[in-house]
Amino acid sequence: MKSSAAYKLARSAYAGYGVDTEAAIRHALRVPVSLHCWQADDVRGLETPKDGVAGGGIMSTGGYPGRARNGDEMRADLDLVLKLLPGKQRLNLHAFYAETGAKAVDRDDLRPEHFARWLGWAKSRRIGLDFNPTYFAHEKANSGFTLSSADPGIRRFWINHGKACRHIAQHFAKELGKPVVHNHWVPDGAKDAPADRWAPRERLKESYDAIFADKTVNRKLCVDAVEGKLFGLGSEDYVVGSQEFYSSYAQSRDLVLCLDLGHYHPTESVADKVSALMQFHKRLLLHTSRPVRWDSDHVVILDDAVRNLFLEIARGDAWDRVFVALDFFDASINRIAAYVIGARATRQAILCGLLDPTAKIQAAETAGRGHERLALMEQARALPWGAVWDELCERDGVPPAAKWLADVARYEKTVLSKRG
């Protein structure tokens, strides 16, 4: 394939800064990005809907037509998404996407066979799977507490769910011959100042210890991660599983810590946390997301938060120590496009990190020329990364630029518009 004139110019512009665009393209295509299945159906899951079940702070807003209504529609949508994305993708499933046929199976009874269709799909597409227990959107989560509940029966139920999910994750890993990242997030917390902030945290720790005590699960196959947050809908004052809780928990239990870009105060820099945490944590799971004034899970775009995050991974050469996954849900726009925009933005940030003229900038810093460092950082943002991106797409056989919109329009007309 012949490279475009724009790419050739970009290649030499970057070469002038000591950056090899060829190596960056190859590397950016290799980094696995895990697609969250839950953008396809607005995080509803495939269980038979029940009245009076609270969402657990997870809420997708908007009524754009075409939501996937079952597993087959989700997989069809994901097939198109995969065709429009360059590089290596994985699929991230949640437990409440089990397909149990006519039989209702509660979360503590889930088994690998309930995910046979997802597994078959992943095998035929040759992609890896990741997994998450679903500790929300269930009557036993209505109180706002699950693994940290004061009720031993509720706790037991969710512990059994966590355990069941680890076996499902391990099964996927064995079948696919690839480790599965298994991420635990619980909605537990309080809307207003609780009088006891201690006991729920102690119970959360004990419940997780009970889940991870199962030694029949090989942690090289089921790679457990834990995800905290600052606040949620209905847990504005107190989140049991806060950043401090999970950072210490993950580190002391040798688990992976998950950082979600939407889970911090807006003035906090998640990028800055990476080099601090990685002095102590072996690996991190990164959820790319976009908070707009709150943890709103807007579609990921190539904003500074995302760019800076992957710039830090590149500067620390920490690619082998991070797992990258998407986490957003927007029901107000075409959902296929939401996937493509968010996944492309994430990989663009990866590419931009790899294209950074770090050596030159750091040399200026080391030499004490602060003005040169700042000028080069500004210049780096102006370098023609877009031409390198289009080249990356062409080489991987997917539409460059915004040409994928045509495929989305066709699919909307022939498939999505026919959904009730």
Catalytic site positions: 185, 227, 229, 260, 263, 287, 295, 297, 327
Task: Determine, following the binding rule CB under 6 A, whether residue 188 of this chain makes contact with ligand RNT.
Answer: no
Quick one: which of 140, 287, 360, 373 contacts Zn ion (CB under 5 A)? 287
* Closest of 4, 384, 323, 382 to residue 180, by C-alpha: 323
Task: Determine, following the binding rule CB under 6 A, whether residue 161 of this chain makes contact with ligand RNT.
Answer: no
State the nearest-atom distance from the C-beta of 234 to Zn ion, in Å. Answer: 17
What is the number of other CB atoms lying within 10 angstroms of the CB of residue 63?
A: 8
State the nearest-atom distance from the C-beta of 285 to Zn ion, in Å. Answer: 9
Tell me which residues in 17-76 interact with Zn ion (CB under 5 A). none
Does residue 334 sit in helix, strand or coil?
Answer: coil
Does residue 276 sit in helix, strand or coil?
Answer: helix
State the nearest-atom distance from the C-beta of 67 to ligand RNT, in Å. Answer: 16
Task: Determine, following the binding rule CB under 6 A, whether residue 229 of this chain makes contact with ligand RNT.
Answer: yes
- Cβ-closest position to ligand RNT: 185
- Find which of ligand RNT, Zn ion, none residue 137 binds, CB within 5 to 8 Å per kind: none
Tell me which residues in 248-277 interact with Zn ion (CB under 5 A). 260
CA distances from 89 to 19, 229, 389, 394, 410 (A): 26, 26, 17, 17, 23
Q: How far apart are the first and last CA of the chain?
A: 43
State the nearest-atom distance from the C-beta of 43 to ligand RNT, in Å. Answer: 6
Residue 349 identity: A
Tell me which residues in 324-343 interact with ligand RNT (CB under 6 A). 327
Place of tokens 């799909």: 121
- Find which of ligand RNT, Zn ion, none residue 229 binds, CB within 5 to 8 Å per kind: ligand RNT
State the nearest-atom distance from the C-beta of 287 to ligand RNT, in Å. Answer: 6
Task: Determine, following the binding rule CB under 6 A, whether residue 77 of this chain makes contact with ligand RNT.
Answer: no
Measured N-to-C along each axis, helices 335-354 and 385-395 cross at an angle, to the nearest 10 degrees, of 120
Task: Determine, following the binding rule CB under 6 A, whether residue 227 of this chain makes contact with ligand RNT.
Answer: yes
Residues contacting 26, CB < 8 A, separation 6+: none
CB-wise, 19 or 68, nearer to ligand RNT?
68
* Strand 128-132 versus strand 89-94 pairing type: parallel
CB-wise, 225 or 376, nearer to ligand RNT?
225
Residues contacting 374, CB < 8 A, separation 6+: none
Give burial (CB, 10 Å; 0-12/13-18/19+) of 368.
exposed
Quick one: which of 10, 58, 257, 331 contacts ligand RNT (CB under 6 A)? 58
Tell me which residues in 131-150 interact with ligand RNT (CB under 6 A). 132
* Strand 189-190 versus strand 238-239 pairing type: antiparallel
Task: Determine, following the binding rule CB under 6 A, whether residue 185 of this chain makes contact with ligand RNT.
Answer: yes
CB-wise, 87 or 232, nearer to ligand RNT?
232
133-156 as b/e: b if 16+ CB within 10 A: bbbbbbebbeebbbbbbeeeebbe
CB-wise, 75 or 94, nearer to Zn ion?
94
Compose the 260-299 pattern: x for residues touching ligand RNT by CB under 6 A, - for all others.
Answer: x--------------------------x------------
State the nearest-atom distance from the C-beta of 9 to ligand RNT, in Å. Answer: 40
- Find which of Zn ion, ligand RNT, none residue 161 binds, CB within 5 to 8 Å per kind: none
CA distances from 330 to 39, 386, 419 (A): 7, 26, 18
Residues contacting 306, CB < 8 A, separation 6+: 261, 288, 290, 300, 345, 346, 349
Does residue 282 sit in helix, strand or coil?
Answer: coil
State the nearest-atom distance from the C-beta of 37 to ligand RNT, in Å. Answer: 9
Which residues contact ligand RNT (rule: CB under 6 A)?
Answer: 38, 43, 58, 94, 132, 185, 227, 229, 260, 287, 327
**Interaction site with Zn ion (CB under 5 A):** 260, 287, 327
